[in-house]
Amino acid sequence: MVADVAGSADKSRALALGAFHLGAFARRTRSQHQHRARLIGLADAGDDLRTRSLEIDVAHVHRMTQLRMVMEQTIDLGTFRAIKGSSGAIDKPVLQEEERITFHELQRPRHAAPGKDSVGLGPESHPVPSVFLCVWKDCDRISRHTMNDRVILPTPPPILKNQQQEIRELFQRFVVPSYGRFNLALSHGAGSHVWDVSGKRYLDLGGGIAVCSLGHAHPEITEALVEQSRRLVHVSNLYYQEPQGRLAQRLVGHLAPGKVFFCNSGAEANEGLFKTARKFGHDEGRFEILTAVNSFHGRTLGGISATGQEKVKKGFEPMVEGFRHIPFNDLEAARGAISPATAAILIEGIQGEGGITPASAEYLLGLRKLCDEKRLLLLLDAVQCGHFRSGRFQSYQRVLEGVAGAEGFSVDGISMAKSLGGGFPIGAFWLRDQAHGVELGQILGPGTHGTTFGGTPLGCAVALRILDVIEREKLADNVRTTGDFLHAEISRLAEQYPGVVRGARGLGFMLGIELQPFDQIPGFKREETVSSLQMVNRLHEAGVLTIPSGSQIVRLLPALNLSRTQAEEGLQLIEKVVRSVA
Ligand SMILES: Cc1ncc(COP(=O)(O)O)c(C=O)c1O
């Protein structure tokens, strides 16, 4: 599918739309105008790809021969096969970084059978895509072109222009305004890329705040959802069902002997840990849980009471009794805070919302010893840092690698969510079978805890499939190597642009770019006082999604299958933005 769309040289962003399908050869149309918008590409799409778009870098394509050349090389863009490339027959590369065109899938072509028909262009024939494409690039006017007297570019529909505004208005009118949202309306994604409603593509390094473990629209997640939903979506926890049992088995296999309870979110998983701690200490009158300053444990009343940040509690007092906060990574402070009422210590393996701070090996080992000495449960909130995000299933497994005295280390309970379902809502907590002579795995007996949607066959089937993919594709290794690369490159940015970047934080794919305060960064606005927000907004403009954390940290929490090439793409864009404000 090829077209060449001529437009005027207007600088304004265009809404020009052109559509045609692969079966048609587009004849090059000469433009009298100095500037041309060019459209070229194809998507090899199955039935399920009707609402995708893709973006390809394409240079000036002036001649049909070049168009043909371009067709001869394919690249994979997630589930799309897009065509781009250079050819030996063309002296200079056809592709240029700067030439970026967005293709947007609108609807199925009328004349082609997706996946069946094919056209022979170049040495291979390509399946007819199930897409129509549109292009908008620096042109506000688009001509209709014909080939063999056939209209191949129908009149562009008046779409996209105000879609973002409309969506925002819906939110303003009908959605509780509890989130500070960025001015972005996203419509779809593929792999580590997402598109907004106007067709702009972003590299997603935020991963839905550490949720999209396999990126967007992963075909195996779709398959697991479809397959399981044909069989059984929900049955209630009054009955047994295989996916839940199998998922519990898999999770336990990555930890120590224990049991798993399934729920729907991170906050709910933590609630389960709180209740476990209370039950554990109950007969001795112990109920208190120590948590860390700067921690984050969710937005339920229990969650905000446990969270070591005042801002989440404000206006919702009184808090749930029994939580006290201790400085993170400070063993002596933990020891000093323990009272006769203390039943447990709960920490994040890597603090996320608090600014990407990993627990040190000494802290973990010291807490374990302290908890053993004082008969306390050591609990881990792994909602953000777990599920291979550190390069191991749990962050402590990575932090304690090769550390003397860490053999056989285990915590007593772990909460999980986020990456576990890759975007499908599922949470869980694991309890060690035995702790301090108590059968911890049995402590929540029949009738003590429950939730309607916990561990549905559908959610568990998805989580199982995600584990399959992570293991089969060795994504933990990818997280380590690509994460180390990103970390090293962020450190390089800090050396090169010390006036903007202070340093790199974190492990694996839970990384932080630590920035200077807003008033020390030359290119930052003085009226906006949060460095992280200013940077994240600028990164959006550049085409990268990241997540702010506190006032000076920009978090990278990408999909576990982010490739090295995508990491490089992200770094280039980040560096461009950093340079622009240095
Ligand atoms: C460490 C940690 N715990 C708990 C939560 C709460 O999880 P959820 O939003 O799924 O309730 C979060 C969410 O960001 C988190 O990062």
Which residue, judged by its Cα, is nearest atom 13 of ligand 1?
Answer: 298
Ligand 1 pocket test, pick from 307, 384, 420, 451 with the greatest ligand atom count within 8 Å of Cβ, gives 384
pLDDT value for 162: 65
pLDDT value for 327: 98
Which residue, judged by its Cα, is nearest atom 16 of ligand 1?
Answer: 384
Separation of CA 296 and ligand 1 centre (Å) = 7
State the average pLDDT over residues 357-370. 98
Which residue, judged by its Cα, is nearest atom 3 of ligand 1?
Answer: 297
* Cis bond upstream, residue 318 (ω within 30): yes
Examine the pLDDT at 370 and tell me if it is beyond 60.
Answer: yes
Report the nearest atom of ligand 1 relative to the CA of 300: 11
**Out of 171-175, 194-198, 314-318, least confident range:** 194-198
Separation of CA 382 and ligand 1 centre (Å) = 9
Examine the pLDDT at 125 and tell me if it is beyond 50.
Answer: no
Asked if 80 and 193 count as a contact pair (C-beta separation under 8 A), the reply is no
**Three-class secondary structure of residue 497 per DSSP:** coil
Examine the pLDDT at 46 and tell me if it is beyond 90.
Answer: no
**Three-class secondary structure of residue 84 per DSSP:** coil
Separation of CA 524 and ligand 1 centre (Å) = 30
Distant-in-sequence, close-in-space partners of 104: CB < 8 Å, separation ≥ 6 = 17, 53, 133, 134, 135, 136, 195, 199
pLDDT value for 328: 98
Examine the pLDDT at 407 and tell me if it is beyond 60.
Answer: yes
**Out of 36-45, 308-317, 343-352, least confident range:** 36-45
In 3D space, the residue among 345, 334, 343 whose CA is nearest the CA of residue 443 turns out to be: 343
Asked if 5 and 93 count as a contact pair (C-beta separation under 8 A), the reply is no
Predicted confidence (pLDDT) per residue in 151-164, tens digit: 333 333 444 446 88
Which residue, judged by its Cα, is nearest atom 4 of ligand 1?
Answer: 297
Asked if 463 and 451 count as a contact pair (C-beta separation under 8 A), the reply is no
CA 367/CA 168 separation, integer angstroms: 47
**Ligand 1 proximal residues by C-beta, below 6 Å:** 209, 265-267, 270, 296-298, 348, 352-353, 381, 383-384, 417
Ligand 1 pocket test, pick from 209, 418, 547 with the greatest ligand atom count within 8 Å of Cβ, gives 418
Phi-psi sector, 355: left (phi>0), alpha (psi -120 to 50), beta: left
Predicted confidence (pLDDT) per residue in 470-524, tens digit: 999 999 999 999 999 999 999 999 999 999 999 999 999 999 999 999 999 999 9
Question: Which pLDDT band, with edges at 50, 70 and 90, does 116 fall under?
Answer: very low
Ligand 1 pocket test, pick from 297, 301, 426, 555 with the greatest ligand atom count within 8 Å of Cβ, gives 297
Question: Which pLDDT band, with edges at 50, 70 and 90, does 180 fall under?
Answer: very high
Question: Which pLDDT band, with edges at 50, 70 and 90, does 413 fall under?
Answer: very high
Q: Who has greater pLDDT, 87 or 463?
A: 463
Separation of CA 171 and ligand 1 centre (Å) = 23
CA angle (447, 449, 454) in 5-degree steps: 120
Kind plus residue range of the DSSP H or E element containing 303 = helix 301-306
Examine the pLDDT at 78 and tell me if it is beyond 90.
Answer: no
In 3D space, the residue among 108, 52, 106 whose CA is nearest the CA of residue 78 turns out to be: 52
Separation of CA 267 and ligand 1 centre (Å) = 6
Question: Both ends of the chain: CA-CA distance in Å?
Answer: 43
Examine the pLDDT at 554 and tell me if it is beyond 80.
Answer: yes
Report the nearest atom of ligand 1 relative to the CA of 348: 1
